[in-house]
Structure 1
Amino acid sequence: MSLTGISANRLELLQIAEAVAREKSIDKEIVIEAIEEAIQKGARSRYGAEHDIRVNIDPKTGETVIKRVVTVVSDDAAWDEEAGEEAPPGIMRLSEARRDDPKAQIGQVYEEILPPFEFGRVQTQMARQVVTGKVREAERERQHEEFKDRVGEIISGSVKRVEYGNVVVDLGRGEGIMRRDQSIPRENFNIGDRIRCYIYDVRRETKGPQILLSRAHGGFMAKLFAQEVPEVYDGVIEIRAVARDPGSRAKMAVVSNDSSIDPVGACV
């Protein structure tokens, strides 16, 4: 992502935001917010961390406004300086504010538009890290929201890599993992193989959503029967229980809601 000069091409920022949003399947507004935060950090690095710097990018024109905000507080507003606590950024005590503005009141806000500036090497690197982190966080949230309601479904994907018996599967808009104990014994996969798995859990973790897959789960066989046996798919036959020795044998308890249909015969 290029953020070398925010004073340059306004449309370039929008093009970057749209490209990243399209690539990661997230909202463009999230990318724009990330760029705003990156520019804000760069501005605070340039003007000083004690300033309250705010950045706004117009999502239609790409126009970027950087402003310094100062808020007036009472003279007895306190923070623990002895404990090393610093004053919040962008505040001014009432007595100090009235030196320049005799009519200043507590809670009054002053804004000053700052000129555009060129990012230095360190600021560019910092901005890139901020945007990358925000985009990755949004991508993880999008994946969790997309897959959390798909628990109990069969999904197709391709084998991305195999690590110590665990199979990582590319699901297109996400990545799932089939752990060794959830695979069928003696079933080996190579990178690029197409594979069908059962989503048995989706967990939100610090490193991103964990989409847990299985080919040994009882629900996998039940769903396969629902796809292959019309009476199960239509709900005429219900699967009440499944017991499996994956790769060896399996049993299902089925019941028919139509007395004219033999549930065992239909499934066999």
Structure 2
Amino acid sequence: MFSELGRVIETLGKERGIEKDIVIKAVEQAFLVTARKKFGLQGEYETRYNDGDDDIEIFQYKNVVDEVRDTIVEITLADAQELDEDVEIGDQIGIKIENPNFSRVDVQTARQIIFQKVRDAEREILFAEYKHKEGELITGIARRYERGNIVVDLGKADAVLSRREVIPGENFKPGDRIQAFLTEVVMTNRGPEIRLSRTTPLFLVKLFEIEVPEIQDGTIEIKSAAREPGQRAKIAVISVDKDIDPVGACVGMKGSRVQNVVNELQGEKIDIVKWSDDVDTFARAALAPSEITNIQIDHEDHTMDVVVEEDQLSLAIGRRGQNVRLAAMLSGYKINIISKSKLQEKIQKSVENLLQVPSITDTYAQVLVQSGFMAVGDVAAADAEQLVDLLEITEEQANEMISATTEAISGGEIQLQAEDEEELVSASAVPAYHGLINKNESDDDSQDKFSDAERRLREELAAFKLK
């Protein structure tokens, strides 16, 4: 039927890296399909590979009956007893088809099925092998471009490095060595698809694991990482050994360790900061090299409001907001930044705005601004109970203040400055006021307070947290 079947099975197993038993099973299934097509689909068949004879044995099972109505599935008792004298009515007997007389088309069909089954088994093996490598660095050779994506030869399989996962400015040519992070392996109709990335923060983490032995042995841990591929990155590290400086260990002698990582990332600048469980301390480190005046942290909403001196504002924000974006990703907090002088200016304007209402004194205006009432409209929309608690006035006085403010706005008696109107428009898309800035312990007179409406910069980024 199939000349040198044993040699074919052996060759397929070795060439494709598949166990012999899997190939034999594929051969048996292929001839089972062929037998059904040749001898009748309604029949019941079994195929077995005979290693000794190097051949496929095909058995057809029939029910033993008194009267045969379908020769494909039934056999008379007399005919059955010629094969097995102990058989009885109602039994099922297996009959070996001695000479199936498969045509060339039948054998070709069997071949196609065999190779398809082998390919399927090969795909499953590759999928299982590379699935276990998810989250690891992998190295291959660039072979070609397909729709802008780079096909990387890993030896046993090809991987895909999407154009979105290539560091900006990189240009790989066929034959170039590529090191990347294996993000995921998914099974598709064409087999397993191995997806790589050189832009994920985890690629940065894995490179440091290779370069820094202390990370490999667990002495130093990378707590979080953030990067804008090809431009700048930040990582936060901590040491379980108080005698080892985690930042110095990652930098290496004369910067050798971090430089090796920088070279692999095409010159990407890397800031290494020391992790701290104290969010205030860590935020100051994450926003380096700027110096922070005050920080107000809202742990529930995961936001922090940062005040800096005017000369530190550009450093805190960074080029095109890069520094604050990376700090936000690193800390997992949304960060709002404003300069101290701008904050004071906005607070003063808010106080002046509230003083337009006759019943609001300077003291009341200061307290209201400190509590988040930045304009007369906020007072008009307030509840009487809020004003009673804040200003320590009676409910009647509070209602009179609200009524007076509402009437003044309706009658056009209160005019907002043009720039204040702009501020109110820009603030309409941002969250509500969160509260006060922490009092600077080194300056007892500092009462800096501000709201989200005063932010010059809003950065809203999802936090990247390492497992």
TM-score, normalization by structure 2: 0.48
The equivalent residue for 1:266 is 249
Equivalent position to 2:157, from 174, 180, 203: 174
2:24 is equivalent to residue 32 of structure 1: yes
Instruction: Flag the structure with higher strand content.
Output: 1
The equivalent residue for 1:56 is 48
The equivalent residue for 1:248 is 231
Equivalent position to 1:214, from 163, 186, 197: 197
Quick check: 2:167–2:230 contact (8 Å CA) kept in 1? yes
Residues 212-266 of structure 1: per-residue CA shift (max 9 Å, x gap) = 1111111111111111111112211111111111111111011111111111111
Q: Letter of the aligned partner of 1:113 in structure 2?
A: K
2:104 and 2:32 map into 1 onto residues whose CA distance is 16
Name the CA shift for 1:192/1:119 in 2 (closer, same or farther; >3 Å).
farther
Name the CA shift for 1:61/1:194 in 2 (closer, same or farther; >3 Å).
farther
Greater displacement, 36-45 / 22-31? 36-45
Name the CA shift for 1:267/1:136 in 2 (closer, same or farther; >3 Å).
same
1:174 and 1:138 map into 2 onto residues whose CA distance is 14
Equivalent position to 1:231, from 214, 217, 226: 214
The equivalent residue for 1:41 is 33
Residues 137-166 of structure 1: per-residue CA shift (max 9 Å, x gap) = 101110111111211111111123211221
2:13 is equivalent to residue 13 of structure 1: no
Greater displacement, 143-152 / 119-128? 119-128
CA RMSD after TM alignment: 2.6
1:205 and 1:195 map into 2 onto residues whose CA distance is 24
Name the CA shift for 1:157/1:61 in 2 (closer, same or farther; >3 Å).
farther
Residues 105-132 of structure 1: per-residue CA shift (max 9 Å, x gap) = 43x2211111245543322331122012
Name the CA shift for 1:251/1:71 in 2 (closer, same or farther; >3 Å).
farther
Residues 156-205 of structure 1: per-residue CA shift (max 9 Å, x gap) = 11123211221121212222211121111121222222211111112233
Equivalent position to 1:162, from 138, 145, 148: 145
2:182 is equivalent to residue 199 of structure 1: yes
2:88 is equivalent to residue 104 of structure 1: yes
Question: Tell me, which stretches of 5 or more residues in structure 1 are unaligned?
Answer: 76-86
2:108 and 2:196 map into 1 onto residues whose CA distance is 37
Q: Letter of the aligned partner of 2:144 in structure 1?
A: R
Q: CA deviation at 1:14?
A: 1.7
Quick check: 1:97–1:104 contact (8 Å CA) kept in 2? no
Structure 2 counterpart SS, 1:150? coil
Count how many residue pairs are aligned between Structure 1 and Structure 2: 243
The equivalent residue for 2:131 is 148
Q: Letter of the aligned partner of 1:104 in structure 2?
A: E
Structure 1 counterpart SS, 2:105? helix
Equivalent position to 1:138, from 107, 111, 121: 121
Name the CA shift for 1:224/1:60 in 2 (closer, same or farther; >3 Å).
farther
Percent identity between matched residues is 40
Q: CA deviation at 1:16?
A: 0.9
1:160 and 1:21 map into 2 onto residues whose CA distance is 27
Quick check: 2:62–2:94 contact (8 Å CA) kept in 1? yes
2:238 and 2:80 map into 1 onto residues whose CA distance is 83
2:184 and 2:166 map into 1 onto residues whose CA distance is 15
Name the CA shift for 1:71/1:207 in 2 (closer, same or farther; >3 Å).
farther
Q: Letter of the aligned partner of 2:105 in structure 1?
A: V
2:5 and 2:89 map into 1 onto residues whose CA distance is 38
Instruction: Flag the structure with higher helix content.
Output: 2
Name the CA shift for 1:155/1:116 in 2 (closer, same or farther; >3 Å).
farther
1:230 and 1:100 map into 2 onto residues whose CA distance is 78
2:77 and 2:162 map into 1 onto residues whose CA distance is 67
Specify which structure has the bigger relative contact order, considering alpha-carbon pairs within 8 angstroms and separated by 6 or more residues.
1
2:173 is equivalent to residue 190 of structure 1: yes
TM-score, normalization by structure 1: 0.81
1:223 and 1:199 map into 2 onto residues whose CA distance is 11
Quick check: 2:64–2:80 contact (8 Å CA) kept in 1? no
